[in-house]
Structure 1
Amino acid sequence: MTAPPTIAIFGASGLIGEATARQLQAEGFRVLALARRFSPAQRAAFPNAVEAPLLAFSAGDLDQILSAHGAEIVVNCIGVLQSSPQKGSAEDVHCGFAARLVEATQARLLVQISIPGSETEDRTPFSATKRAAERLIHARSPAFAILRPGFVWAPSAYGGSALMRALALLPADLPAREAASPFAATDAGDIARTIGFLARRWAGGERDWRVTWDVMERGGESVGGVVSRLRRHMGGPKPWLRLPAALMRLGALAGDAAARLGWSPPIRTTALREMRRGVQGDPGPWISATSIEPRAFADALAHTPASVQERWFAKLYLAKALVIGTLAAFWLVSGLLALTLAFDAAAAILIQAGAPPLLAKAATAATSLLDIAIGGLIAIRRTCRLGLLAGMAVTLAYLLGSVPIAPHLWLDPIGAMVKTVPALVLMLVALLILDER
């Protein structure tokens, strides 16, 4: 019996990449998982994990790492919704990397994860560059399979699938335009099964693959239908209002701003435009070629327990942005106020405790700047954890230092010091829900 080929999965830390890697590994394939960064749980799950800045690799570098692990099937799950300083431009991530990968896989089968639809519908840099990568692969790759999944449902939640879970537990419906968009779903297991089918055929000697398949359920629902089905499944509240379209646009702009700080919010202008376009395709050719019967969204959902952890995640998902934003604003505003309008009052507390006026003013300025720095650290994704830890340490220092310096503040009827304790707890909560994967 021919041994199953090694399958390399680029972007194995993402929603599709991780689900695919886990299932293929469970089916007996040797999986080479590659990503820019893995979580500790993902490193434990993938013994052959390679963590590296893949987008900076040349075609020679990619070929070398694939050859070192004997990979014959290469799956590209790398993608970005919008260009950002942290993750690169959509042009380089989708087209530049695909070009280098094509060059490195001339003797291998390249499986590209793309998006459904046609070029006439591509109105965002995301969809336009995804389609350009398809054309590049068609022109240069000797053996390829372009898979176009719909709305991907997987055991884990990230991006769009996390947003759908959160919306299902809100007492509100989407605006009519977004709710009516077609939204055919894809069970992540069907993507893995398709790759497994291709890998077995490749191992059996079939090397002339040049196919493009829509990998999704038959028919499909609307965006509103998906949210409603999730709401029933998870026991969400009955909606009593419809979100204004203007609020969706405002949320998308806020998401764009957050993305510039390194965050990956699911609501951005590109995501909103893609949602309005909808997700639909023709799975017939894929079903005929592979004999894989796609799992409908209702069936995939039935295999996802509506457990307490699912409900907790859905309720906290949108609250996370509120928590982080509130804490960042809290530190920034408190620091700015102490440095400007409340500077004399803040310095007076130290002077009353016996500090020389010049030293009191210097300490007030220093602590105000420290507060502002903590707020800035919390606002930026890469430094948020450091900012939260620093904020907790500084808060404890303020609380303990106030006892000998200004004990009367603890008896303030407004509760100036007592109210700081909940802020400390909120920073701990933010630390606990900071992970994205």
Structure 2
Amino acid sequence: MPRAFVLGGYGLIGAECCRALACAGFDVTAVGRSRAAAAQSGLAVDWLYRDLVQTDAATWRADLAGADVVVNAAGALQDGPRDDLDGVHDRALAALIDALDGSATRVVQISAAGVSPDAPTEFFRSKARGDARLMASALDWVILRPTLVLAPAAYGGTALLRAQAATPLVHLQVFPDAPVQTVALSDLAQAVVTAARGGIPRRRVYDLTEAGSRSFAATTTRMRAWLGLPDWRLSLTLPRPLPRLTGRIADGLGRLGWRSPLRTNALVSLQAGITGDPSAWETAGGAPCRALDETLSAMPATPQDRWFARMYLLLPLAIGVLALFWTASGLIALAQPQRSADVLILRGTAPGLAMAIALAGGVADVALGLAILWRRWARAAALGMIAVAGSYLFGSLAFTPDLWLDPMGPMVKVLPTLPLALIVASLIEPR
């Protein structure tokens, strides 16, 4: 049985490649750095835990001894606390090439349509450097460059595409004339199997894409019809400065660990268009990739898809509201702690204890409000908000029950934060 290793095995593309290779008779080992993400992938394959950027050639040489195929499905969109574009796309590949030097192992590199040394984003430039390094080697390699990948699951740009298609009433158009081509994830995975089996000429670069293209506006309209939603009533093209501003904000959030598809690299890539030429792949004997309508017909939308599309943009809104509410509440309490303490003192609490409770509550509120903005701590912060809000509510029942009858409803207004925090904690998934 031929052995295949898939780098980035729990990613959207990597996981599908693992499944397709296993179904094709390969003994598959998936490679990733996170045990938690591997456990959530549901893949029935062996796992090798490695940080691609930190793994040297000697380690790879031992790990990959006897491998018939190595599929590189690892990638990152933009530099951040957890992502190093040059490290993932170039330096890691250099170590891999060094490790496989002199072997008969075939390398199937999953790159991206549009990469070039002078591309407008570091994502494409770093991908191009890695591709060039592989092409200059003596290894047995195939490079596949897919366009926009569509799958039953959604992540990154495809998730954003669904979210934009689900916006209510108004079609908010961003770069509406940008040309877009797509490829079904299953077609990409089968192309990997074909390359791994040696079914196409080696040491060549192939674009994987449908034959035709359409504008981004037409693509989102088609996605809306796929979701089963009614036509928009209005259409509004956003001015160019707004997407640029959004990209910079998303870049800033990227420093806090959020991998937003609205980051500058993604928006610049979309503005330039996402296109490829399938002729080399088809001439080499590869199966033609399905058109967008065929792809969508093969994965009919469900209520879960509509829920996801609607909630995708509501999740960051919910996080922002919680961050603002808790931070502002804490700062107000810390700015005038005596007023907060007086509420307890008037009801029989000792002054020292009342002040301590007021200050501790203010600090806790600010800490939770800021922590939820950091991707690593967001879920824990949401659960902390539930715990703290619950303690406020139960504490008020025990010590200040009259506040529940206050005309301004200070305690009643805390109640909506509980389900909102619970929703955020439930929707945040580790990656």
Give the match for residue 306 of structure 1: 301
Measure how far apart 1:48 and its partner are. 0.7
Closer, same or farther in 2 for the Cα pair 1:201/1:244, shift >3 Å? closer
Contact 2:31 2:48 in 1 (8 A): yes
Out of 183, 186, 190, which is 1:186 matched to? Answer: 183
Whole-Å Cα distance in 2 between the matches of residues 299 and 119 of structure 1?
Answer: 30
Give the match for residue 106 of structure 2: 109
- Cα deviation digits, residues 58-89 of structure 1 (max 9, x gap): 1111222222xx422111111111101222x2
Give the match for residue 361 of structure 1: 355
Whole-Å Cα distance in 1 between the matches of residues 404 and 38 of structure 2?
Answer: 42
Measure how far apart 1:174 and its partner are. 4.3
Out of 345, 352, 363, which is 2:339 matched to? Answer: 345
Whole-Å Cα distance in 2 between the matches of residues 350 and 141 of structure 1?
Answer: 76
Count of aligned residue pairs for this structure pair: 425
Give the match for residue 385 of structure 2: 391
Is 1:17 matched up with 2:14? yes
Contact 1:32 1:71 in 2 (8 A): no
Whole-Å Cα distance in 1 between the matches of residues 327 and 237 of structure 2?
Answer: 30
Whole-Å Cα distance in 1 between the matches of residues 287 and 367 of structure 2?
Answer: 55
TM-score (norm 1): 0.92
Give the match for residue 418 of structure 1: 412
Give the match for residue 98 of structure 1: 93
Matched to 2:141, the amino acid is F
Out of 62, 71, 77, which is 1:75 matched to? Answer: 71
What secondary structure is seen at the aligned counterpart in 1 of 2:187?
Answer: helix
Whole-Å Cα distance in 2 between the matches of residues 436 and 180 of structure 1?
Answer: 34
What secondary structure is seen at the aligned counterpart in 2 of 1:85?
Answer: coil
Contact 1:55 1:93 in 2 (8 A): yes
Out of 370, 374, 378, which is 1:376 matched to? Answer: 370
Whole-Å Cα distance in 2 between the matches of residues 322 and 126 of structure 1?
Answer: 27
Closer, same or farther in 2 for the Cα pair 1:326/1:124, shift >3 Å? same
Give the match for residue 39 of structure 1: 37
Whole-Å Cα distance in 2 between the matches of residues 7 and 94 of structure 1?
Answer: 20
Q: Which moved more, 1:28-37 or 1:310-319?
A: 28-37
Contact 1:16 1:154 in 2 (8 A): no
Structure 2, unaligned stretches of length 5 or more? none
Contact 1:19 1:155 in 2 (8 A): no
Percent of aligned pairs with the same amino acid: 36
Measure how far apart 1:100 and its partner are. 1.0
Q: Which moved more, 1:368-377 or 1:240-249?
A: 240-249
What secondary structure is seen at the aligned counterpart in 1 of 2:108?
Answer: strand
Give matches, 1:31-430, under 5 Å: 31-37=28-34, 38-39=36-37, 42-67=40-65, 70-87=66-83, 89-106=84-101, 107=103, 108-117=105-114, 119=116, 122-170=119-167, 171-175=169-173, 178-201=175-198, 209-239=202-232, 240-245=234-239, 246-340=241-335, 342-430=336-424
Measure how far apart 1:243 and its partner are. 4.3
Closer, same or farther in 2 for the Cα pair 1:417/1:243, shift >3 Å? farther
Closer, same or farther in 2 for the Cα pair 1:120/1:8, shift >3 Å? closer
Whole-Å Cα distance in 2 between the matches of residues 362 and 272 of structure 1?
Answer: 48
Closer, same or farther in 2 for the Cα pair 1:172/1:33, shift >3 Å? farther
Whole-Å Cα distance in 1 between the matches of residues 405 and 209 of structure 2?
Answer: 63
TM-score (norm 2): 0.93
- Cα deviation digits, residues 191-249 of structure 1 (max 9, x gap): 211221122228xxx9x821101111112222112111111111224231314233322
What secondary structure is seen at the aligned counterpart in 2 of 1:179?
Answer: coil
Is 1:7 matched up with 2:19? no
What secondary structure is seen at the aligned counterpart in 1 of 2:258?
Answer: coil
Contact 1:377 1:383 in 2 (8 A): yes
- Cα deviation digits, residues 269-310 of structure 1 (max 9, x gap): 111101001111211111111331211111011111211001
- Cα deviation digits, residues 374-426 of structure 1 (max 9, x gap): 12221111111211121111111111111122111111122211121110111
- Cα deviation digits, residues 95-127 of structure 1 (max 9, x gap): 111111111222211111112226376011111
Contact 2:108 2:196 in 1 (8 A): no
Matched to 1:30, the amino acid is D
Whole-Å Cα distance in 2 between the matches of residues 223 and 229 of structure 1?
Answer: 10
Contact 1:263 1:381 in 2 (8 A): yes
Contact 1:172 1:243 in 2 (8 A): no
Contact 1:158 1:436 in 2 (8 A): no
Matched to 2:3, the amino acid is T
Measure how far apart 1:187 and its partner are. 1.1
Contact 2:173 2:217 in 1 (8 A): no
Measure how far apart 1:43 and its partner are. 4.6
Contact 2:16 2:185 in 1 (8 A): yes
Structure 1, unaligned stretches of length 5 or more? none
Matched to 2:346, the amino acid is Q
Whole-Å Cα distance in 1 between the matches of residues 223 and 54 of structure 2?
Answer: 39
Whole-Å Cα distance in 2 between the matches of residues 49 and 118 of structure 1?
Answer: 30
Closer, same or farther in 2 for the Cα pair 1:223/1:120, shift >3 Å? farther
